Structure formats: structure tokens, C-alpha cells
């Protein structure tokens, strides 16, 4: 099960033939530079190369009108003057004698990708295409777009492959109004877009790009707009919106296919977006979507106008689709006030439609927003003059770090009589374990550490953690006689030697003797920050509660904490289903460069296969129908989040009070 890559040099063969400042950034090099970066890094060789094809008339007509198609069909034969005139009826777009051919290839590329993924030829993939698509409408070209590649692909996936629900994630920095219009009354396609908006001051300056446009009729709730009202948004702002809006809703929606309008003008250095998220954020955005729809994800290029930033972002995306370890996102900063305001507004209008957002807070008072608009207007004038003076100031950022695949993906520490799942490397004890370590293990008063088996198990665990630290091993699973004791030992004796921050995720009833609970006020405060018990009334079988806890608490905490190791502990009788367990493992791989150690109890070996599968990077099966949450759980989680957001800024979903 591989990753498809679609590219054809032909799509570089059209360009702007006259002077138009609005269009000069959309250059053929966008595509060639992206592809060359994939070749140079060896990523393209690891993909399954799929050729594009031309979309047929019938396929284009799934989204566009006959009149429009007939109009575009004439452009290859037009003179320069005719082309200019044809172009004039649309906004921020240009035509060229070869653009119709390229537009058919771009749409056809998206369809080839959908075919490859839906038939199981590959797991996922990316199509590098020009022209982009998400601005084009039923009867209009717009914003460099001719045919709406992704919208056509969504209709095609439903019609040809029987997809019941399609999720479209548009992380391009512009609003894909064409996609919104296409599906606004259609509940089978959930469209999510974040976009630079600046209270409607930014192109395409549409009222309907705001957060309160949620779709129409039976499609109400299936359109999610997140307007960015300031430039300079960072990784933390993007991750917040994913954790607190997109991901919970996407899991509730339960798509059969995920399509990404993969524009990279939302990355740092882009002259259009003017945002500050780094290219490695796209590794995480991609990863966070890869366990939906059983892993069926098709990314189709949209915008991206800083060639350096674009090429790096494309590589990050493809490398993630290929399953390489995630880059560590160091110092994810708290979301800014403007982002929080957007987040709060979106959650409060969408909570009517998504049970998972039911407990979201109200919108900030109109007082706050109007004050902000006034402030923004005043700031804007200052900023505009400043910008004119500065001209286009060049942003610099470090090149993303290399993401090295460890020689061994997954390892196991097992009792001698337990079988090792396929694909895992079984660790055996060294003949003479480190004496210091042995004495330390023996000193522990826990029953199972004292005997020879205990020493063998714990020294193998130590080796495993050490090899994860040096990236010789990616992740691992251990079967131990007493998970609670093993967790304590790893946290207090083994892990602390090797990594400074361990994120311990304990599923089920925990019995941790919290070493910090000595009663002093300081320690109590620390305990409140670092010990976060989440109680679900129906236990881990409550899918909605579980998803709320994972996206509302665990992921944002993890991004802020930035651990060097994830210790996932499965308590006996936790009640967590296999699907959810696999989802959890998959999602946690986003932290600590994928270094996760799973501890399970020896008699809980039945879930070894799902665990191994998730550790090896196979996509989790989709969570089946979500149960309605018990009314109290969501509320309790929400209160917990409110309490903790004083310590953990990534948990914030509302503007600070008093603003
Ligand atoms: N300052 C895509 O990213 N406006 N299209 C240009 C120049 C049009 C962007 C204004 C931007 C269209 C696919
Ligand atoms: Zn764009």
C-alpha cells in the first residue's frame, strides 16, 4: 500500500502573457520547483508514479455549466487580444492557449488520484497540478483557477466509487468559494476552509467567507469557515483550529474519503498569505488527517507562491503520506487573541450541528468584536503605509530538519512464550545487563521487578527506550505482568535517564502512585498541571467522550508539552475498543518523532495485533457510528479544559475574559 504521486511537465506549459500584477505570482516554476524538490530528496522515487489524464466533458460538467465549458474550449484558438478579453470577465485569473489542456489534465489528475486510492491501488497520494481549482465556480474562472479539480473529484468519488461522505479540507490561505458554492446545500460533502479574511478586507472579499456561513438547507453545518482576521498566524494557531474544530467534527462526520485542497500559501514566506506557520506544520496537518477514512487521503495542489516555502511544504506533505516519522514541532506558541476569537465564533455557530461541539462556549460579546474591528481598521492604515515603505520584506526560516526513518520501525518486549507479531523485532536480553541498572531495578519494591524475569523485562525495556532515543528503533510494545508497576518503573527509573519529558497516556483505571503528591502547595499546583485524570462515565467505550478528550485535551497538551517519549499504558479492563485504540496510537505518533512505547498487561495479549498494526503505521479502521454522548461527559470535559487552560494555552478556545 503505497503513496501515489501525479505530476506531468505539461502542466508547466502555460504562463501569463501580458502584464497583470495580480497574476504574476502564478508561475510555471511553482510546479517544477516542487517536483524537483521531491526528486532531489528521493521522495518521488518512493512514490507510485501515476500518470494524469484529461478529465472528460462529462466529468467537468459534474461541477461546471455547459456554457462555461464551451467558452473555455474556445481559448486554445484565440488570439492574444481575444484571450485578454475573455480573461476580463473574471477576477484574478489569466488564460493562455494551453491552459484548457492543462486544466483538463489538472482535473483529470485529481480523478486519477481518487481512482488509485478508492480502488486500493495505493493508500493515499498527492497530485501536483496547475491550474489550481478551488476558486473556480460553476460558470466562472477565478483566482488562477479554471476547473474546480477537488470539487469534481468529490462528485466523482461519490458517483463512480460510491463514497457516501467526502471531507474536503482546504488549508490553502484563500477561501475556496467555488467549493463552498458547489456543496453548500449538500450534507454528503463536508467542506472546511480556513482563510485570510481580515474582516472581509482580503480577496475574494466575500461576506459568505465568514464563520457564520455554515451551509444551507440539509447542508447546514456541512460548511465550516474559519476566517483569519490578522496575518502572522503561527503553528499554534493552525493546530488549535485542527484540534478544537476540524478534527472532532471530521471524526463525527466519519468520511469515506478525505480530499485536501493543498495550497501552501498558508506557509511562512508566502507573499499572498503573509502567515508564519512553518513548512513542517504540513507534516502534522497531513498526519492528523491520515487516520480518517481508513487512511484514504488525496492531496491536490492549490496555491503557494514562495517557491522555497512551497517546495519544502510539498516535501513535508508527501513524506508524511509515505509514513516517515513526524518532525518535532518545538515551542508551539499559544494561539493569538485574534485566532481565539475566530475559534470561539466558529465553535459557537457549529455547535448546533455537531454533538461533539455541543458544549462549546457562546460567541464573544458583540462588544468585543466591534471593538476589534475598529482597532483593526486603525491598525490597518498604519500597516499599509508601513508595508509600502518596507516593500516585500524577505522572511527567513530554517530549513525543516531531516526526518530519518529508524532502521527498525517497531520492536517488542515479550515473555518467552508469547508470539511476536509479524513485522516487529523482538528484543532479547543482553547476556550481562548493566549492573547499575539491575541494582536499581531490584531496589524497586514492586513485586515483579525483583525476580530474574523482572530484571530481564526491565532491562529490555531500558534498551528499547535507549534505542528509541538514538533513533535505532521507532516505537515498541511490551507485555508486562503488571502494567501499573511497569509504568512507574519506566517513568521514575528508566525514562527519566534518557528523555527529559515523557507524556504518559494511561487508558483505563489508573493506580499511579503519584510521586509529586506530597501535599505542599507548590506540588499540588504541579500535580494539577501535570496529572490530568479524565473520567468518562461510560468509560472508554464512549466514542464521543473519548474523541472529545483526545482532541480537546490530549493533542493540544501534547503539542504544548513537546515530549521526548510517549508512554501509552493500557490498563487491564480499560474497555477501549480496538478501533479507538488504533486511532489513539496513530494520533500519538505525531509526538516525540513517533517514539511511542506501549505497555500492556500479559493477559491482555488479544489486542497485540491491532497494536502492532498501528505501531507499524497502518491506518486505523474508521470509528463506527458514534454514540450520542452522555450529557454530563462533554460538560465535565469542558470544565476540565477551562480549569487547565490557565496552565496550558493550547487548551484555550475562547478569547481571554476582560478583553
Ligand atoms: N496580490 C490560489 O491560491 N489575488 N489562488 C491576487 C495579488 C488572487 C489565489 C492578488 C489570489 C488567487 C489558488
Ligand atoms: Zn491560495
- Cell readout for 1 is 500500500
Whole-number Å distance, alpha carbon 144 to ligand 1 midpoint, is: 7
Position 586 confidence tier, pLDDT thresholds 50, 70, 90? very high
Angle at 634 between CA 630 and CA 635, to 5 degrees: 110
**Residue with CA nearest ligand 1 atom 3:** 303
Which of these ranges, 42-51, 76-85, 323-332, has the smallest mean pLDDT?
Answer: 323-332
Locate 192 and state its grid cell.
472546511
Task: Return the pLDDT at 383.
Answer: 66
- With a pLDDT cut of 90, the percent of the chain lying above it is 74
Average pLDDT in the 533-555 region?
82
Separation between Cα atoms, residue 311 and residue 319, nearest integer Å: 12
265 alpha carbon to ligand 1 midpoint, in Å? 9
Q: Minimal CA–CA distance to 246: which of 507, 532, 556, 657?
A: 556
Q: Contact 520/581 with Cβ under 8 angstroms?
A: no
CB distance 265 to 282 below 8 Å:
no
Residue bearing the bigger pLDDT, 44 or 383:
44
Question: Which is more confident, 176 or 492?
Answer: 176
Residue-range domain boundaries for the chain: 408-531+563-628
Asked if this assembly's ipTM is beyond 0.85, the reply is yes
User: For residue 31, is pLDDT > 50?
Assistant: yes
Q: What is the pLDDT of residue 370?
A: 56
DSSP string, 29-84: HHHHHHHHHHHHTTHHHHSEE----PPPHHHHTTTS-HHHHHHHHTGGG--HHHHH
Position in ligand 1 atom list of the atom nearest CA 92 = 8
Atom of ligand 1 nearest to the CA of 173: 3
User: Considering only CA atoms, which of 174, 166, 209 is closest in space to residue 191?
Assistant: 166
Beta carbons of 259 and 129 less than 8 angstroms apart: no
Cβ count within 10 A of residue 309:
24
**Per-residue pLDDT for 114 more than 80?**
yes
Q: Are 659 and 368 in contact (CB under 8 A)?
A: yes
CB of residue 196 inside a 6 A radius of ligand 1: no
- Say how many CA atoms lie within 13 Å of 63 toward its Cβ: 32
> How many A from CA of 333 to the centre of ligand 1?
28
Q: Are 172 and 180 in contact (CB under 8 A)?
A: no
Any idea which residue has 518596507 for its cell? 390
**Active-site residue 199, yes or no?**
no
- Measuring CA to CA, how many Å separate 410 from each of 100, 245, 316, 413, 447? 48, 32, 22, 11, 28
What average pLDDT score do residues 581-593 get?
A: 96
Q: Which one of 93, 144, 193, 384 would you pick to mutate in the ligand 1 pocket, going by the greatest count of ligand atoms within 8 A of its CB?
A: 144
Whether residue 590 contacts residue 284, with contact meaning beta carbons closer than 8 Å, is answered with yes
The residue that leads in pLDDT, 366 or 301, is 301
**Cα separation of 172 and 154, whole Å?**
17
Q: How far is the CA of 463 from the centre of ligand 2 (A)?
A: 47
Q: Residues 476, 478, 484, 485: what is their CA dihedral angle, to the nearest 10 degrees?
A: -110
The residues with which 626 forms a beta bridge, in sequence order, are: none
pLDDT value at residue 514 = 47
| DSSP codes joined into one string, 171-194 | -SSS--HHHHHHHTT-TTEEEEEE
Of 239, 240, 241, 251, nearest in space to 278 by CA: 239
Q: For a pocket test of ligand 1, which of 20, 135, 262, 305 has the largest count of ligand atoms closer than 8 A to its C-beta?
A: 135
Contacts of 189 (CB under 8 A, 6+ apart): 154, 158, 165, 166, 167, 168, 182, 183, 222
pLDDT in tens, 348-383: 999 999 999 999 999 998 655 555 565 666 666 666
Residue 628's pLDDT is 59
* Residue 340 pLDDT level (bands cut at 50, 70, 90): very high
Residue closest via CA to ligand 1's atom 2 equals: 303
CB distance 170 to ligand 1 below 6 Å: no
The Cα–Cα gap between 420 and 408 comes to 15
| 539-569 as b/e: b if 16+ CB within 10 A | bbebbbbbbbbbbbbbbbbbbbebbbbbbbb
Task: Judge whether residue 450 has pLDDT over 60.
Answer: no
Cα-Cα-Cα-Cα dihedral of 123, 128, 133, 134, to 10°? 60
Chain-centre distance for alpha carbon 188:
21
Each residue's pLDDT tens digit, 208-250: 999 999 999 999 999 999 999 999 999 999 999 999 999 999 9
Helix residue ranges, H only, 504-577: 521-530, 543-549, 555-561
181: Cβ below 6 Å to ligand 1?
no
Tell which phi-psi region holds residue 295, choosing left (phi > 0), alpha (psi between -120 and 50) or beta.
left
How much is the mean pLDDT over the chain?
91
CB distance 274 to ligand 1 below 6 Å: no
Catalytic residue (one of 64, 96, 134, 135): 135
Torsion angle, alpha carbons of 401, 405, 407, 410, to 10: 130
For ligand 1, atom 9, name the residue with the nearest CA: 143
Which ligand ends up closest to the CA of 195?
A: 2
Decide if 475 contacts 405 (C-beta within 8 A): no
Q: How much of the chain, in percent, has pLDDT values that exceed 70?
A: 89
Q: Which of 82-86, 183-187, 199-203, 618-622 has the lowest mean pLDDT?
A: 618-622
Residue 489: what pLDDT? 85
Atom from ligand 1 closest to the CA of residue 134: 13
- Pairing between β-strand 166-170 and β-strand 189-196 as defined by DSSP bridges: parallel
pLDDT of residue 515: 47
pLDDT at 385 over 80: no
Domain at 408-531+563-628, CATH homologous superfamily? Histone deacetylase domain (3.40.800.20)
Output the pLDDT for position 435: 72
pLDDT at 605: 78
Give the integer Cα–Cα distance in Å for 124 and 113: 8
For the record, the C-alpha cell of 368 comes out as 468585543
H helical segments located in 418-501: 435-443, 447-450, 452-469, 483-489, 496-498
**Ligand 1 binding pocket mutation candidate from 22, 23, 170, 306 (most atoms within 8 A of CB):** 22
Q: Cβ(130) to ligand 1 under 6 A?
A: no
Contacts of 385 (CB under 8 A, 6+ apart): none
From the CA of 129, the nearest ligand is: 1
Spatial CA neighbour of 342 closest among 229, 233, 238, 234: 229
| Three-class SS state of 299 | strand
CA of residue 113 to ligand 1 center, whole Å: 25
- Mean pLDDT over 198-216 rounds to 98
CA 216 to ligand 1 centroid distance, Å: 27
Task: Determine the distance separating the centroid of ligand 2 and the alpha carbon of 306, expressed in angstroms.
Answer: 12
Return the higher-pLDDT residue of 196 and 441.
Answer: 196
Candidate ranges 484-488, 555-559, 603-607; pick with highest mean pLDDT: 555-559
For 375, the 3-state DSSP assignment is helix
Determine contact, residues 306/397, Cβ cutoff 8 Å: no
Residue 446 has pLDDT above 60, yes or no: no
* CA 132 to ligand 1: nearest atom: 13
- What value does the mean pLDDT take over residues 604-613? 92
Per-residue pLDDT reduced to its tens digit, 241-263: 999 999 999 999 999 999 999 99
Amino acid at each position: 500500500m503505497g503513496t501515489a504521486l501525479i505530476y506531468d511537465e505539461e502542466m508547466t506549459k502555460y504562463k501569463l502573457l501580458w502584464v497583470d500584477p495580480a497574476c504574476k505570482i502564478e508561475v510555471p516554476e511553482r510546479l517544477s520547483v516542487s517536483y524537483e524538490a521531491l526528486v532531489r530528496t528521493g521522495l518521488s522515487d518512493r512514490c507510485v508514479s501515476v500518470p494524469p489524464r484529461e478529465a472528460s466533458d462529462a466529468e467537468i460538467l459534474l461541477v461546471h455549466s455547459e456554457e462555461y465549458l464551451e467558452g473555455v474550449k474556445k481559448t486554445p484558438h484565440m488570439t492574444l487580444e481575444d484571450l485578454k478579453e475573455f480573461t476580463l470577465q473574471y477576477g484574478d485569473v489569466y488564460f493562455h492557449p494551453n491552459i484548457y489542456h492543462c486544466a483538463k489534465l489538472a482535473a483529470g489528475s485529481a480523478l486519477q488520484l481518487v481512482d488509485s486510492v478508492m480502488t486500493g491501488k495505493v493508500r493515499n497520494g498527492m497530485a501536483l497540478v496547475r491550474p489550481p481549482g478551488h476558486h473556480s465556480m460553476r460558470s466562472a474562472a477565478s483566482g488562477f483557477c479554471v476547473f474546480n479539480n477537488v470539487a469534481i473529484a468529490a462528485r466523482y468519488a461519490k458517483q463512480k466509487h460510491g463514497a457516501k461522505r467526502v471531507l474536503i479540507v482546504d488549508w490553502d490561505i484563500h477561501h475556496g468559494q467555488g467549493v463552498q458554492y458547489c456543496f453548500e446545500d449538500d450534507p454528503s460533502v463536508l467542506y472546511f476552509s480556513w482563510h485570510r479574511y481580515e474582516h472581509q478586507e482580503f480577496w475574494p472579499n466575500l461576506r459568505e467567507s465568514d464563520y457564520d456561513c455554515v451551509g444551507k438547507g440539509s447542508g447546514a453545518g456541512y460548511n465550516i469557515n474559519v476566517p483569519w482576521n490578522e496575518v502572522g498566524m503561527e503553528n499554534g494557531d493552525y493546530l488549535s483550529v485542527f484540534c478544537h474544530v476540524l478534527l472532532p467534527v471530521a471524526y463525527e462526520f466519519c468520511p469515506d474519503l478525505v480530499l485536501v485542497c493543498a495550497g501552501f500559501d498558508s506557509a511562512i514566506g508566502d507573499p499572498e498569505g503573509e502567515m508564519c506557520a512553518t513548512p513542517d506544520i504540513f507534516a502534522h496537518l497531513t498526519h492528523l488527517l491520515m487516520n480518517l477514512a481508513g487512511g484514504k487521503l488525496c492531496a491536490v495542489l492549490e496555491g503557494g507562491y514562495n517557491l522555497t516555502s512551497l517546495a519544502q511544504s510539498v516535501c513535508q506533505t508527501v513524506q508524511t503520506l509515505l509514513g516517515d516519522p513526524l518532525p518535532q514541532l518545538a515551542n508551539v506558541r499559544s494561539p493569538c487573541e485574534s485566532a481565539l476569537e475566530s475559534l470561539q465564533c466558529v465553535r459557537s455557530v457549529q455547535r448546533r450541528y455537531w454533538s461533539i461541539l455541543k458544549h462549546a462556549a457562546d460567541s464573544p460579546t458583540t462588544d468585543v468584536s466591534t471593538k476589534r474591528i475598529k482597532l483593526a481598521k486603525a491598525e490597518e492604515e498604519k500597516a499599509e503605509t508601513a508595508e509600502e515603505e518596507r516593500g516585500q520584506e524577505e522572511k527567513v526560516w530554517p530549513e525543516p530538519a531531516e526526518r530519518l526513518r529508524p532502521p527498525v520501525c517497531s520492536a517488542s518486549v515479550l515473555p518467552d512464550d508469547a508470539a511476536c507479531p509479524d513485522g516487529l523485532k523482538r528484543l532479547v536480553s543482553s547476556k550481562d545487563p548493566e549492573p547499575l541498572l539491575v541494582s536499581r531495578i531490584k531496589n524497586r519494591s514492586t513485586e515483579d521487578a525483583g525476580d530474574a524475569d523482572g530484571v530481564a523485562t526491565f532491562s529490555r525495556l531500558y534498551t528499547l527506550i535507549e534505542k528509541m532515543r538514538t533513533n535505532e528503533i521507532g516505537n515498541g510494545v511490551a507485555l508486562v505482568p503488571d502494567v501499573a508497576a511497569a509504568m512507574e518503573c519506566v517513568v521514575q527509573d528508566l525514562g527519566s535517564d534518557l528523555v527529559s519529558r515523557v507524556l504518559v497516556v494511561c487508558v483505563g483505571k489508573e493506580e499511579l502512585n503519584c510521586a509529586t503528591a506530597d501535599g505542599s502547595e507548590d506540588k499540588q499546583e504541579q500535580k494539577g498541571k501535570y496529572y490530568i485524570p479524565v473520567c468518562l462515565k461510560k468509560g472508554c467505550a464512549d466514542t464521543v467522550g473519548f474523541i472529545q478528550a483526545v482532541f480537546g485535551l490530549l493533542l493540544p497538551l501534547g503539542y504544548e508539552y513537546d515530549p521526548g517519549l510517549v508512554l501509552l499504558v493500557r490498563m487491564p479492563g480499560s474497555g477501549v475498543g480496538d478501533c479507538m485504540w488504533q486511532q489513539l496510537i496513530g494520533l500519538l505518533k505525531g509526538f516525540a518523532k513517533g517514539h511511542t512505547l506501549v505497555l500492556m498487561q500479559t493477559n491482555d495479549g488479544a489486542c497485540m495485533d491491532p497494536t502492532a498494526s498501528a505501531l507499524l503505521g497502518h491506518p486505523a479502521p474508521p470509528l463506527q457510528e458514534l454514540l450520542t454522548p452522555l450529557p454530563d461527559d462533554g460538560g465535565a470535559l469542558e470544565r476540565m479544559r477551562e480549569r487547565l487552560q490557565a496552565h496550558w494555552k493550547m487548551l484555550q478556545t475562547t478569547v481571554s475574559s476582560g478583553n
